């Protein structure tokens, strides 16, 4: 279609752009718009409409370079709008290089054609993969394919999420306001290497008392959580192509981080005593051993003392690094929390990791690790170099929260509540399935694992449950080696209100029974 004038062209372009006639045609009486910030009925400034219409037409090569534009006065008269509105659009396009002015001649479309790359082509290749995953690296594609993240992070029966509705907000707000009133610049800028020292001191003191960890404050390194802790350990102590023993099943995030860094995970099966090292594995020492000895994730067993000692002796003799994820160690029901593996280490081969995501709230994004004293300086520098000091203000509040005793009090209260909810969930499971289903992990943590018969499709159950608004993670997805894979569901109870546990499981039980074969 032939366009009679640039003003008519702009009218058509703007209509297509915003799917409505936002600038009135020439034969329509003036609207009284008289400033560059005037807006249409849809709320879009007219100057931006003109700017965007001309800009898109230039990028689409509908307006050729060298074409002279009408003066701002003439175009404003054609569009029946204020000249200031057109002037703003022209000036913005000139500033961005789309238009150019020539003294005594007027305003022209600039030549924006990119320079030809030697040996290259500017033609856009055909789109063969709308998802864009074909552009991913091998590590990236594997990460996305095996991702375990969920779009639902709250409610029945999301594992690993605490009840944040019962967090002591008033205490936290008081501590936060105290720091805001002080107006300390050091809390609002990048933090010191290793993290906020008062928090490191508070964590060291807590770990010595509650977890029998041997450390002082300089050995405590503040991170954003287990993922970043594992990431920095591998980057500073590992090489691309190294291997790492991981428990099978294990936390999916551990495998994701290792794979993304070029570390090969080697599946080591677990039994009632924890990680079961086999002779074939012992003959090929890894660079790292990733373990959750105090509360295996996701099955919940505790590593026996004999295997702990064997693991430490093997690591010392073969110069292997043990990465201890002290998962949910604070929430143990019916007995005191167990001592950490790090407290037994006499050869400095254990790197201990923890997080406040389960004891406080996940969005805090504060974790920590305890490294051997000989590595403390390097790790503090490494974390600062790669990630910069972050959340310093939050770290200061957390330090006060711990030193004033609120942290231990909060854990005690939540431990009692979670024990009650665990019992409610166990009762609901027993009501529907009696002794036909095995449960593991009920002694500690924020979830339990419910075993299913081998013929049950836990993936299908999980999908149907999700459609019904219930999260029930399939246990089989946590295994690496199909030979050891078991069917089941991970059921979190911490973030489910007590009165909702039974009704939610009744709904889930109906879904399970429909898939029971």
Quote the percentage of the chain above a pLDDT of 90.
Answer: 65
CATH architecture of 409-515: Alpha-Beta Complex (3.90)
Residue 279's pLDDT is what?
84
CA–CA distances in Å: residue 373 to residues 205, 218, 319, 441: 16, 8, 16, 34
Which residues are CB-neighbours of 227 under 8 A, at least 6 positions away? 253, 257
Question: If you average pLDDT over residues 278-293, what whole number do you get?
Answer: 93
Give the separation between CA 189 and CA 187, rounded to whole angstroms: 6
Residue 362 clears pLDDT 50, i.e. is over it: yes
Partners of 246 in the β-ladder: 267, 290
Least confident of 119-133, 420-434, 454-468, 487-501: 119-133
Q: What integer pLDDT is reported at residue 128 of this predicted model?
A: 58
Q: Where are the domains of the chain?
A: 6-109, 168-406, 409-515
pTM of the full predicted structure?
0.81
Task: With beta carbons less than 8 A apart as the criterion, state whether 291 and 250 touch.
Answer: no
Q: Which of 335 and 326 is assigned the larger pLDDT?
A: 326
30 phi/psi in degrees, rounded to 5? -60, 145
pLDDT tens digits, 110-127: 988 776 656 655 555 555
Does domain 168-406 sit in CATH 3.40.640.10? yes
Mean pLDDT of the chain: 87
Mean pLDDT of all residues in 217-225: 97
pLDDT, position 23: 45
* pLDDT beyond 80 at 398: yes
pLDDT at 127: 54
What pLDDT is recorded for position 33? Answer: 37
Q: pLDDT digit string (tens) for 2-35?
A: 445 677 777 777 666 655 444 444 444 343 333 4
Measure the CA–CA gap between 29 and 10, rounded to whole angstroms: 18
Least trusted range by pLDDT, from 41-55, 99-113, 291-305, 400-414: 41-55
In angstroms, the CA 444 to CA 300 distance is 7
pLDDT of residue 306: 94
Residue 29 is predicted with a pLDDT of 39
Q: Helix 406-433 vs helix 392-403: angle between axes, to the nearest 10 degrees?
A: 90
From CA 226, how far away is CA 229, in angstroms rounded? 5
Task: Give the whole-angstrom CA distance, residue 207 versus residue 190.
Answer: 26
Question: Does 383 have pLDDT greater than 90?
Answer: yes
Q: How far apart are CA 333 and CA 423, in angstroms?
A: 11
Residue 61 reports pLDDT greater than 90 = no
Decide which of 72 and 400 is more confident.
Answer: 400
At CA 84, angle to CA 83 and CA 89, rounded to 5? Answer: 100
pLDDT at 8: 73
Select from 3.40.50.2020, 1.10.10.10, 3.40.50.720, 2.60.120.1360 the CATH code of 6-109: 1.10.10.10
Lowest-pLDDT choice from 78-87, 350-359, 472-481: 78-87
pLDDT score at 243: 97
In contact, 148 and 253? CB cutoff 8 Å: yes
Q: Rounded to the nearest 5°, which phi and psi values hold at 218?
A: -65, -20
Mean of pLDDT values over 91-99: 94
Asked if residues 298 and 472 have their Cβ atoms less than 8 Å apart, the reply is no
pLDDT computed for residue 41 by the predictor? 42
Q: Which percentage of the chain shows pLDDT scores above 70?
A: 87
CB atoms within 10 A of CB 89: 26
Q: Which of 30-34, 302-306, 501-505 has the lowest mean pLDDT?
A: 30-34
pLDDT of residue 145: 75
Listed range (82-96, 130-144, 238-252, 413-427) with the worst mean pLDDT: 130-144
For residue 333, what pLDDT band results from cuts at 50, 70 and 90?
confident
Mean local confidence (pLDDT), 282-296: 95
């Amino acid at each position: 279609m032939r366009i009679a004038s640039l003003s008519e062209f702009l009218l058509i372009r703007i209509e297509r752009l915003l799917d409505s006639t936002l600038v009135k045609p020439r034969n329509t009486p003036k609207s009284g718009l008289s400033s560059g910030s005037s807006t249409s009925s849809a709320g879009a400034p007219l100057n931006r409409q003109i700017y965007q219409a001309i800009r898109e037409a230039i990028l689409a090569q509908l307006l050729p370079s060298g074409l002279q534009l009408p003066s701002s006065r003439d175009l404003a008269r054609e569009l029946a709008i204020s000249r200031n509105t057109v002037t703003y659009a022209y000036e913005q396009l000139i500033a961005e290089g789309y238009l150019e002015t020539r003294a005594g001649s007027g305003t022209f479309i600039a030549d924006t054609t990119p320079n030809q790359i030697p040996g290259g082509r500017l033609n856009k290749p055909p789109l063969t993969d709308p998802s864009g995953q074909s552009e991913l690296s091998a590590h990236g594609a594997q990460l996305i394919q095996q991702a375990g993240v969920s779009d639902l992070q709250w409610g029945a029966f999301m594992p690993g999420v605490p009840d944040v509705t019962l967090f002591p907000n008033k205490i936290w707000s008081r501590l936060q306001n105290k720091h805001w009133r002080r107006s300390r610049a050091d809390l609002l800028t990048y933090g010191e290497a290793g993290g906020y020292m008062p928090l490191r001191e508070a964590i060291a003191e807590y770990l010595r008392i509650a977890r029998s960890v041997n450390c002082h404050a300089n050995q405590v390194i503040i991170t954003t959580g287990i993922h970043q802790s594992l990431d920095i350990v591998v980057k500073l102590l590992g090489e691309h192509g190294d291997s790492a023993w991981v428990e099978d099943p294990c936390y999916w995030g551990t495998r994701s981080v290792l794979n993304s860094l070029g570390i090969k995970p080697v599946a080591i099966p677990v039994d009632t005593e924890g990680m079961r090292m086999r002779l074939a594995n012992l003959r090929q020492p890894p660079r790292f051993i990733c373990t959750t000895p105090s509360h295996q994730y996701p099955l919940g067993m505790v590593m026996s003392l004999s295997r702990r000692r064997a693991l430490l002796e093997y690591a010392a003799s073969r110069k292997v690094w043990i990465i201890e994820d002290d998962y949910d160690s604070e929430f143990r029901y019916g007995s005191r929390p167990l001592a950490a593996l790090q407290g037994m280490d006499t050869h400095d081969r254990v790197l201990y990791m923890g997080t406040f995501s389960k004891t406080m709230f996940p969005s805090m994004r504060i974790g920590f690790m305890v490294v051997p004293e000989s590595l403390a300086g390097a790790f503090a520098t490494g974390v600062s170099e790669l990630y910069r000091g972050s959340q310093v203000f939050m770290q200061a509040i957390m330090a006060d929260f711990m030193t004033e005793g609120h942290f231990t009090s909060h854990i005690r209260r939540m431990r009692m509540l979670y024990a009650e909810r665990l019992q409610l969930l166990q009762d609901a499971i027993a009501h529907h399935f009696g002794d036909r289903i095995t449960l593991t992990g009920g002694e500690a943590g924020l979830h339990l694992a419910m075993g299913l018969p081998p013929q049950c499709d836990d993936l299908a159950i999980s999908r149907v449950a999700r459609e019904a608004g219930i999260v029930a993670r399939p246990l089989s997805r946590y295994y690496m080696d199909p030979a050891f894979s078991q069917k089941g569901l991970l059921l979190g109870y911490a973030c489910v209100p007590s009165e909702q546990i039974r009704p939610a499981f009744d709904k889930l039980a109906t879904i399970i029974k429909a898939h029971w074969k």
